[in-house]
Structure 1
Amino acid sequence: MKTKKERAAYIDERLEELFPETPVPLDHVNPFTLLIAVLLSAQCTDERVNKVTPALFEKATCPEDMVKLTVDEIEAIVKPCGLAPRKAKAIHRLSEILIEKHGGEVPDNFEDLEELPGVGHKTAGVVLAQSFGIPAFPVDTHIHRLAQQWGLTSGKNVVETEKDLKRCFPKDRWNKLHLQIIFFGRKYCAARQCDGLQCELCQTCFPDRKRARKYKKA
């Protein structure tokens, strides 16, 4: 496959075959709980987040209930996720802001979401894509790595990679595709599993590649 367009078309088709269903990896019951779960997933695995959030969501699944908890109470629950003091403060304060400015509802746009404490561009993108169905292409470190390995970007950071991926794929595929890439990476092309020479997509896209692919970390 000589061109980026050909690689992108093949990757799109193959990922749809491998992962026709794309359940959201983080357990949640509404946009607010998804927002909290994604916030907690920073520098933490989805598996661990899913073990922690039931205790938190038993007490609060909306901003009105979350603000009734103290920051210390939230911190004690989310401690296994790491960065607990910072995350607990962000969860409590963003809950207050949602009540003060948004009627207790999670906003459905990047601008308002990114103004919330602890909510970056990727977190906002996940919420918009998975809770509201708004086209976004959230790029984490795994997608950043795979996009480089597959020759879809030379981006130095996740922002540049996101722009490149949006150019490669149809807009109506962004929301599902970002999950499909994550699933593929976890199952077939983890950083320790594949160096650009091992997995099916790397071999098919670059059959003549002889050396391990070094990528630029986000």
Structure 2
Amino acid sequence: MTKKERAEHVMRRLEELYPETPIPLDHTDPYTLLVAVLLSAQCTDARVNTVTPKLFALAGTPEEMMRQPVEAVEAVVKPCGLAPRKAAAIVQLSKILVDEHGGEVPQDMAALEELPGVGHKTASVVMAQAFGVPAFPVDTHIHRLAQRWGLTDGRNVAKTEADLKKLFPSEAWNKLHLQIIFYGRDACTARGCDGTVCEMCRTLYPRRRKPVVTRK
């Protein structure tokens, strides 16, 4: 298969496997999604979903959150790891949203990336899942699978994102990035597949015998 043919097969098969793509992080609006994505760094979505109800009961809007002591927020988000840094970022970004954006999450990638604790991936997730703007957030699953499937050389996450955006139509990005994540969790896991085991890897590379060493 050519790279284009592999990409077409990936998109077609993932649509068959995951016709519905519910957003893994529980949220009620762009603000609660932004906070949940920030908390998900180096933490599972499942754990974040156990923490956010307690956090948003404490403060569910930027106005409420900015008035919370960082220590109070830290105590709630501790199970997510990196609690001091995440708590400080949540309180700080909430104040910025109130002071500079009228208490609303900006629908602008550059403005999102300027917020404390918000990197390119987090901003991309918010743009895609909160506002429906085409984006292709690349997490560890997508970075790993794109290499195993020969869609990128995996030189770095930015290169993987750029390569995937060239291969797939922009109208598919928001759904496809979730479909790849779901498949990466279910079938082509870091330890369960080495590029030769799962259905997708075997279909795309039927003659592959050696494990694929992926870049992180």
The aligned counterpart of 1:65 is: 64
- The answer to whether the aligner puts 1:20 opposite 2:8 as a matched pair is no
Normalising by structure 1, report the TM-score: 0.98
For 1:104, give the aligned amino acid: G
Q: Distance in 1 between matches of 2:134 and 2:61?
A: 25
Q: Number of paired residues?
A: 216
Equivalent position amino acid for 2:174 in 1: N
Instruction: Name the residue aligned to 1:102.
Output: 101
Unaligned stretches of 5+ in structure 1? Answer: none
For residue 121 of structure 1, what is the aligned residue in structure 2? 120
RMSD: 0.6
**Given the alignment of the two structures, is residue 158 of structure 1 paired with residue 157 of structure 2, yes or no?**
yes
Looking at structure 1, the residues matched to 154 and 45 of structure 2 have their Cα atoms a distance apart, in angstroms, of 25
Aligned pairs for 1:1-218 (under 5 A) are 1=1, 3-217=2-216
Residues 154, 214 of structure 2: 8 Å contact kept:
no
Q: Which amino acid aligns with 2:49?
A: N
Q: How far did residue 132 of structure 1 move?
A: 0.2
Counterpart CA distance in 1 for 2:199 and 2:14 is 11
Spell out, residue by residue over 1:117-146, the C-alpha distance to the aligned partner (whole angstroms, 9 max, x if none): 000000000000000000000001110010
Letter in 1 for 2:131: F
Identity of aligned residues (%): 66
Secondary structure in 1 matching 2:195: coil
* Separation in 2, partners of 1:127, 1:107: 10
TM-score by length of 2: 0.99
Shift of 1:61: 1.9
Distance 2:151 2:48 in 1: 30
1:58 Cα deviation after fit:
1.1
Which runs of 4 or more aligned residues in structure 1 lie more than 6 Å from their structure 2 counterparts after TM superposition? none
> Which letter does structure 2 place at the counterpart of 1:171?
S
Shift of 1:67: 1.2
> 1:155: how far off?
2.7
The residue identity in structure 1 corresponding to 2:52 is T
